Amino acid sequence: MDDDRVFKALGDPTRRKLLDLLYEKNGQTLGELCANLDMARQSATQHLGILEDANLVSTVRRGREKLHFINPVPLHEVYERWVRKFERQRLSLLHDLKTELEGE
């Protein structure tokens, strides 16, 4: 996984919106995605390219259409590497506080 590409992709609100749209309905065409965005198809294509480069979106051709699918694996890897370890510490502190307050 290339963390820098994933973080760059997630750093833009339009790209996060595209991921949200694909989460709601996976397998959308560029036209379907653009219907929910206030931008030209060319701009949306550039954003999707960055998401594909980060492996957050994959595409499948169906006839003349190109369908876009979210790939949650890089997000899970970011969670495991960058979020989960901090979550464990916080939960451990909350457990210790609970134990102290309850006098166990």
Q: Which domains, ranges and CATH numbers included, belong to the chain?
A: 3-102 (1.10.10.10)
- Pair 59, 67: CB distance under 8 Å: yes
Q: Residue 7 corresponds to which tokens in the numbers above?
A: 């973080």
pTM: 0.80
Digit-coded pLDDT (tens) for 13-41: 999 999 999 999 999 999 999 999 988 99
**pLDDT at 98 exceeding the cut of 80:** yes
Closest CA to 27 of 69, 86, 65: 69
Which pLDDT belongs to residue 63? 93
What's the residue count for the chain?
Answer: 104
Residues 6+ apart with CB under 8 A from 42: none
